[in-house]
Amino acid sequence: MPDRVEGQGTSPVTVEQFEVGVLGCVCTIVADAQAREAIVVDGGDDVDEIVRRLDARGVRATQLVHTHAHVDHIGALAELRERTGGRGLLHPADLPLYRTLAVQARWLGLPLPAGTVAPDGDLREGDVVTAGTALLNVLHTPGHTPGSCSFALQFGLRTMLLTGDTLFAGAVGRWDIGGTSLADIVTSIREKLLGYPDDTIVVPGHGPATTIGIERRDNPYLQGSN
């Protein structure tokens, strides 16, 4: 996806999205310029670039959150936490998967992660992650992995959903690499995501952005969903 930078009118909150790593994981920085704080979502690689972008906005990452524990989404947590001092957060159901980062990297032919660190806290359904006035609401959307989460960000008059590898434009995530089942993914999407209005922006963990309305209408895995 091309880099995206969006603001919220007179709000100090901005959202910046760009790809990191050879697998093109979409990393999101949600920053409050006045508070000089930021949330980094899925900082899985390219720590130098993430830190450069934080410095360019004059903000410090206080929260490092992850949609799930596949290496391309969380492999850089140890280094990013050391460089920024932010708190690493992950759903506890993905802790066993997180402990296999080296195995995942070898399986995918990726460089081994610099190491792992114990997350500083859990992400759970209904939690709100904050940095200044920036707020991310946590939605537990298991299926791609047991602890997969999506994040809802109120963006002006619209909502932006960061869906990780749960919901893609025209597709859903795999369930054969440490996941549960296709049925679980579809259930998570129907129960947690399709309740948002049609104009809700969806930013997946890879590939182009879409909207809830488009996916409700056209995604072949969701036909018959309300």
Q: Name the token pair of 18.
A: 């760009």
Q: Yes or no: is domain 4-222 CATH 2.40.30.170? A: no
**Interatomic CA distance for residues 26 and 164, integer angstroms:** 8
What pLDDT, on a 0 to 100 scale, did the predictor assign at position 156? 73
* Contact criterion met (CB below 8 Å) for 60 and 140: no
Question: What would the mean pLDDT of 10-31 be, rounded to a whole number?
Answer: 94
**Interatomic CA distance for residues 138 and 153, integer angstroms:** 9
- pLDDT band at 133; cut points 50, 70, 90: very high
Question: What would the mean pLDDT of 103-129 be, rounded to a whole number?
Answer: 91
* Parallel/antiparallel/unpaired status of strands 149-155 and 158-164: antiparallel
Question: What would the mean pLDDT of 127-142 be, rounded to a whole number?
Answer: 97
CB atoms within 10 A of CB 60: 16
> For the whole prediction, is pTM greater than 0.85?
yes
What pLDDT, on a 0 to 100 scale, did the predictor assign at position 154? 86
What pLDDT, on a 0 to 100 scale, did the predictor assign at position 7? 63
- pLDDT band at 2; cut points 50, 70, 90: low
Element (H, E) at 50: helix 47-57
Report the share of the chain in percent with pLDDT over 70. 94
Mean pLDDT of the chain: 93
What pLDDT, on a 0 to 100 scale, did the predictor assign at position 146? 97
What pLDDT, on a 0 to 100 scale, did the predictor assign at position 115? 79
What pLDDT, on a 0 to 100 scale, did the predictor assign at position 155? 73
What pLDDT, on a 0 to 100 scale, did the predictor assign at position 211? 97
What pLDDT, on a 0 to 100 scale, did the predictor assign at position 226? 52
Asked if pLDDT for residue 77 goes beyond 80, the answer is yes
The conformation of residue 70, written as its DSSP 8-state character, comes to -
Q: Name the token pair of 135.
A: 């707020």
- pLDDT band at 10; cut points 50, 70, 90: low
What pLDDT, on a 0 to 100 scale, did the predictor assign at position 116? 86
């959307």: which residue's tokens? 141
The closest alpha carbon to 30, from 44, 2, 11, 48, belongs to 11
Q: What angle do CA 152, 62, 76 make, to 5 degrees?
A: 85
Residue-range domain boundaries for the chain: 4-222
């596949």: which residue's tokens? 70
